[in-house]
Chain A
Amino acid sequence: RKEVEQDPGPFNVPEGATVAFNCTYSNSASQSFFWYRQDCRKEPKLLMSVYSSGNEDGRFTAQLNRASQYISLLIRDSKLSDSATYLCVVSLSGYALNFGKGTSLLVTP
């Protein structure tokens, strides 16, 4: 069983749509949770950390459910520039990261 699982997509949505990505992780001792964004042939960049209380950054909202070992990312009012691959990331030890394979998003005009 993979440590971090994501729906690979692709998700094709029109501008202005709301889209949600989900992720599950297998190790209940995991300590830290994140969403990274990766553009084609570029390095991943931290989008936001994820907390049990839920957190929001502009159009982006992240949620963590430790009991279900489930992480989500909601993007409201999608922009063309949101097109990218979104990586669900979990850290067990506080050092190295475990990455999901990513969910591909394409926002169309």
Chain B
Amino acid sequence: DGGITQSPKYLFRKEGQNVTLSCEQNLNHDAMYWYRQDPGQGLRLIYYSQIVNDFQKGDIAEGYSVSREKKESFPLTVTSAQKNPTAFYLCASSIKGTGGRTFFGQGTRLTVV
């Protein structure tokens, strides 16, 4: 089945540590995205990538980094510079230029302990 796979589903991080969230898609989509969701809040865009080896900052990129070395993969690193990283992280993808026909992974729930 085609889809987006995020791992792990739950992640616990100690303060000061970097962690990397995995996102893989087999939908052959050009565009991939990372969003963050906090309780009672809408999704906010962290980074997005329209093609391999290129990505752009979203609204809340500080403290995060990404790479897009393969079309299928768009990992997100939450660095120690991110002051409030506890949140629900959602990876998504879409066919280039179609905007809303966007599909989401099941999310990674990150908690700082």
Give Cα A41 to B108, complex, Å: 10
Q: Is A46's CB under 8 angstroms from B101's CB?
A: yes
Asked whether any CB of chain A lies closer than 8 Å to the CB of B107, the reply is yes
Give Cα A46 to B95, complex, Å: 14
Q: Which residue of B lies closest to A35 (CB)?
A: B100
We find that the number of chain A residues with CB closer than 8 angstroms to chain B is: 25
Interface digits, B76-113 against A, CB 8 Å rule (1 contact, 0 not)?
Answer: 00000000000010100010011111111111010000
Asked whether any CB of chain B lies closer than 8 Å to the CB of A43, the reply is yes
Q: Which residue of A lies closest to B96 (CB)?
A: A95
Among A4, A41, A95, A102, point to the contact of B31 (Cβ < 8 A). A95
Q: Which residue of A lies closest to B90 (CB)?
A: A43
With known contacts A43-B105, A44-B104, A96-B48, A4–B42 Cβ distance under 8 A: yes
With known contacts A44-B90, A44-B104, A95–B42 Cβ distance under 8 A: no
Which DSSP category, helix, strand, loop or mixed, fits chain B's interface?
Answer: strand
Residues of B within 8 A of A41 (CB): 88, 109
With known contacts A32-B99, A44-B43, A102-B42, A95–B105 Cβ distance under 8 A: no
With known contacts A43-B104, A43-B105, A44-B90, A95–B97 Cβ distance under 8 A: yes
Residues of B within 8 A of A99 (CB): 35, 42-44
Asked whether any CB of chain B lies closer than 8 Å to the CB of A73, the reply is no
Q: Is A100's CB under 8 angstroms from B33's CB?
A: no
Q: With a 10 A CB-CB cut-off, give which of A4, A8, A43, A94 has the most chain B CB atoms.
A: A43
With known contacts A44-B90, A94-B99, A96-B48, A87–B42 Cβ distance under 8 A: yes
Residues of B within 8 A of A93 (CB): 99
Would you give the shortest CB distance from A95 to chain B, in whole angstroms?
6
Q: Which residue of B lies closest to A30 (CB)?
A: B99
Q: Is B100's CB under 8 angstroms from A34's CB?
A: yes
Would you give the shortest CB distance from A41 to chain B, in whole angstroms?
8
Asked whether any CB of chain A lies closer than 8 Å to the CB of B41, the reply is yes
Q: Chain A: residues with CB nearer than 8 A to chain B?
A: 4, 8, 31-34, 41-46, 49, 87, 89, 91, 93-97, 99-102
